[in-house]
């Protein structure tokens, strides 16, 4: 059999120690994930990325290493993003409160009108 022949590999062909070794090299910055694919003959385009997500120390949601302290710039960006989220939430809650207040005024007016029109007491008289 010729060494240059194409042989499709599966995930089972790679040992756990090999996967962890590749992940370590990429996270240390020694290789990019594409360079690791070429160096080790990993055929799948996203195989190394899957390993990085599964076994690495990188926080893929926030795109920062989870074990490294965040720089002041990163903290500032996160705080600005959180501020924008809170401002949106605040505006939404203000709109809901305003709508609820308008409903309460409308219901009061309807009760006043009904009491007048039909001459019946709808509200309870509260004697303190």
For 68-123, the pLDDT digits (tens) are: 566 788 788 888 888 988 999 999 999 999 999 999 999 999 999 999 999 988 88
DSSP state of 64: E
Question: Quick check: is 1 in a domain?
Answer: no
State residue 90's pLDDT score.
94
80 and 32 fall within a common domain = no
Among residues 30, 53, 68, which one ends one of the domains? 68
State residue 1's pLDDT score.
43
H-helix or E-strand spanning residue 59: strand 58-59
State residue 12's pLDDT score.
60
Better-predicted residue by pLDDT, 21 or 103: 103
CA distance linking residue 93 with residue 24, whole number of Å: 46
74 and 121 fall within a common domain = yes
Are 42 and 36 contacting, i.e. CB atoms less than 8 angstroms apart? yes
CA distance linking residue 28 with residue 46, whole number of Å: 19
81 and 101 fall within a common domain = yes
Mean pLDDT of 45-65: 74
50 and 73 fall within a common domain = no
CA distance linking residue 114 with residue 104, whole number of Å: 15
Mean pLDDT of 10-17: 74
CA distance linking residue 98 with residue 95, whole number of Å: 5
12 and 31 fall within a common domain = yes
48 and 90 fall within a common domain = no
If one counts the domains in the chain, the total is: 2
91 and 124 fall within a common domain = yes
**Domain of residue 99, residue span:** 69-128
Mean pLDDT of 52-70: 66
Phi, psi of 64 (to 5 degrees): -135, 150
State residue 24's pLDDT score.
86
């Amino acid at each position: 059999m010729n060494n240059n022949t194409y042989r499709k590999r599966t995930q089972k062909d790679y040992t756990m120690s090999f996967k962890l070794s590749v992940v370590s090299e990429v996270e240390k910055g020694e290789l990019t994930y594409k360079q690791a694919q070429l160096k080790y003959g990993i055929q799948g385009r996203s195989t190394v990325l899957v390993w990085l997500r599964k076994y690495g120390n990188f926080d893929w949601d926030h795109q920062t290493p989870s074990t490294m302290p965040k720089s002041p710039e990163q903290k500032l960006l996160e705080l600005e993003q959180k501020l924008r989220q809170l401002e949106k939430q605040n505006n939404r809650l203000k709109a809901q409160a305003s709508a609820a207040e308008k409903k309460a005024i409308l219901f009061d007016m309807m009760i006043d009108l009904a009491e007048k029109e039909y001459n019946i007491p709808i509200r309870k008289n509260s004697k303190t």
